[in-house]
Amino acid sequence: MTESTKANRGTKSPATKGNGFAIQAFSISRKFGNLVAVNSIDLSIKEGELFSMLGPNGAGKTTTIKMLCCLLRPSSGTATIMGHDIQKDSIAVKEVIDISPQETAIAEHLNAWENLSLIGGIYGFEKQEVKKRSEELLKMMGLTDRAKEQVRKYSGGMKRRLSIAMALVSDPQVLFLDEPTLGLDPQSRRSIWEHIAELKGKKTIVLTTHYLEEADALADRIAIIDEGKIVALGTSRELKDSISDMQVMVVKAKNLTSDAIEGLREIYPEVRAVEDGVEITAKEVSSYEIVDYLRPKGVVIESTSLKQVTLDDVFLHLTGKELRE
């Protein structure tokens, strides 16, 4: 790495130097015509934190990430990354960040080595250093054996792993992972989680996802985003505790029609359809009341039980929507 590059990557603006925050957003918003995609979001993400933005498609997660990565201009407000303003000092911001975008952003006609060299070289690393880091990353992502193959022949999971490796080869201080496991099979997803878990504490990571298990398993703090706003922010425990006065009843049933579910929603507003029944969140849930309501409608109830609150329940409670809607 050149001296000037090293210097650039290490500097911070005096105003925020040493305040411990890698990312700060100040009422950042973005409109597309009349649509408000991100609505006055404030963020303070500590250095070394793994911060997750959890929300359904279209919630504003990717738009927020794109603004923080200087790809989209905020309509109002601003943000700093490692003390550098995203609008006034975008080149300095770009020196300290890297991203694995939602779409698999790799050069299809190159092999894995060449993809990593491309990014390493652009960030000003010496050839030998890129080679060493690439070796480590290919090993970490389990791609060493096929590193010399053109990546267009890779599976979806391999492409995702390479995309993450490309985001790491520049040794960024702040790493953005935008839906890193979107569309992957459970095995590939779990493998990527393991790799992300290895990075915890070493880098500031912003992870967007609409898989609550992902946020629950990996994040230090989670921001639940809906319709461009942060509706809740805290650790997974804090978020679950925020509805600790609520009960979640699992009703396993057969012949459960959509009319029956809609009827239940008139009694309990938070009813979520699951594979073999429904889950009902409320301050007080009466299994008798549920049985009395469903039986006359021809529903065969197999069991009712109370379960621990999940992030899904928190999301439903806060937004009135299911996360996967």
Partner 1 sequence: MRFMELAKRNLKVMYRDLLSLGLTILFPPALLLILSPLARFGGIWAPTMITPGIVLFGFAMITMSSAVILARDRESALLSRLLTTPLRANDFISAYSLPYIPVAIIQIVAIFAIGGLLGLEISGNAGLVFLVLFVMSLGFIGLGMILGALLTYNQLSAVYAPVILLVVFGGAWVPLEVMGGVFQSIMNALPFAHALDAARDIMAHGAGFSDIATDFYWVLGYTLVLFALGIFLFRRRMVE
Contact residues: partner 1, CB under 8 A: 8, 69-73, 90-91, 94-95, 97-99, 101-107, 109-110, 114, 117-119, 121-124, 166, 170
- Closest separation in Å from C-beta 18 to partner 1: 23
Pairing of strands 247-254, 270-274: unpaired
Give CA–CA dist 53/75, Å, rounded.
20
Give CA–CA dist 119/223, Å, rounded.
30
- Closest separation in Å from C-beta 100 to partner 1: 8
CB 195 within 8 A of CB 166: no
The alpha carbon dihedral of 209, 215, 219, 223 has a sign of: positive
Nearest CB to partner 1, comparing residues 67 and 323? 67
- Closest separation in Å from C-beta 296 to partner 1: 53
- Closest separation in Å from C-beta 98 to partner 1: 7
- Closest separation in Å from C-beta 269 to partner 1: 39
Spatial strand order of the sheet with 97-100 comes to 97-100, 174-178, 204-209, 50-54, 221-226, 229-234
Nearest CB to partner 1, comparing residues 110 and 233? 110
Q: Which of 268, 269, 279 is nearest to 305 (CA)?
A: 279
Nearest CB to partner 1, comparing residues 95 and 270? 95
CB 194 within 8 A of CB 163: no
Nearest CB to partner 1, comparing residues 13 and 247? 13
Nearest CB to partner 1, comparing residues 150 and 287? 150
CB 8 within 8 A of CB 198: no
- Closest separation in Å from C-beta 153 to partner 1: 13
Nearest CB to partner 1, comparing residues 9 and 240? 9
